[in-house]
Amino acid sequence: MGTISQFLSITAVPTPAGLILHQNRYAQSILQRAGMHCKTVNTPITDKSHKTTNYSSLFFDPLLYRQLVGSLQYLTLTRPDISYAVNKACQYMHRPTDSNFEGVKHFLRYIKGSMHHGLPLSRNSLELTSYVDLDWVGDQQDKKSTTGYCTFLGSSLISWSVKKQKTIARSSTKEEYRALATTAADLIWLCQLLQELDRPQYAPTNLLCDNTSAIALANNPVFHARTKHIEIDCHFIRECIKNKTIYVHHISTKDQLADIFTKPLSMERFQHINLKLTSSSDSSVCQGVLTQ
């Protein structure tokens, strides 16, 4: 069928390293529907929009709110940098308020200033690496935690998730351990998929976490006698380590890329991580001309 250029509103831009997938036209249609003719911002969510109160009045057009947020869900296919902001917006679809809509307008302004950002795919390596993080008791209203993880195939981001925990935990170790188990399940599925594609993972997959207690719990069976409050289905991660399917490493919090999926970040911190997840399609198009 020839070289790929458009597929389901996703544009594929060839680069020397591989491809960049972006949804520039789709993002423009969302901004037009919202009537966003405004200045841009540098981050998709702020602490102010993160700490939404219940005292704000109901938004006059909840259908518009649901249409915009539903459209933004599809945009996250190539924009992992807005995944956390969209996840927060989705939590208020049933009863959106004026402050909720102000939060949506804020990251629409961010999208307007980053229209050409997309997902880079390169052909360098086929080794899986995953990052997992947790914002313990991050929600100011119900005190629930948010889990975020991302998985790279070589240097290409291929899987990521933002999920709010269903229950409230009194221990950050318990929630981090649950996040490890969730990420391990996704890694096992990816390893099986690569096996079917004749690209097996011969070495244990590296799973990077910044919580030393959760790592010790996963590696040391002696700790399990003191943690009966953790569900049995979470302990399968220990079996994965014994079977050498995954290997849990410690990583410094400042190097934790999954941090962008769990909480609002400062502009410097957000841009530092975002540069490692996304790329600008404009720079790839002009690269050859600038080199000449």
Residue showing tokens 């102010």:
48
Closest CA relative to residue 234, chosen from 171, 190, 191: 171
With helix as H, strand as E and coil as C, how does 67-127 read?
HHHHHHHHHCCCCHHHHHHHHHHHCCCCCCEHHHHHHHHHHHHHHHHCCCEEEEEECCCCC
Task: Kindly report the CATH class assigned to 124-251.
Answer: alpha beta
Distance CA 14, CA 12 (A): 6
**Rounded to 10 degrees, what is the CA torsion of 178, 180, 186, 192?**
-120
Residues 104-125: tens digit of each pLDDT? 999 899 999 998 899 999 988 8
Banded model confidence at residue 292, pLDDT cuts 50, 70, 90:
very low
Region of 82 please: left (phi>0), alpha (psi -120 to 50) or beta. Answer: alpha
pLDDT in tens, 117-153: 999 999 888 899 999 998 876 666 777 888 999 999 9
Reply yes or no on whether the pLDDT at 290 is more than 70: no
Residue 286: predicted pLDDT? 43
The region of weakest confidence among 62-71, 187-196, 219-228 is 219-228
What is the reported pLDDT for 138? Answer: 63
> Per-domain residue ranges for the chain?
6-119+272-286, 124-251
| Contact indicator for 234, 228 with CB cutoff of 8 Å | no
Digit-coded pLDDT (tens) for 181-205: 889 999 999 999 999 999 999 899 9
Q: What is the mean pLDDT of the chain?
A: 84
Model confidence pLDDT, tens digit, residues 35-55:
887 789 999 988 665 555 556
pLDDT, residue 189, reads 94
Q: Is the pLDDT of residue 212 over 90?
A: no
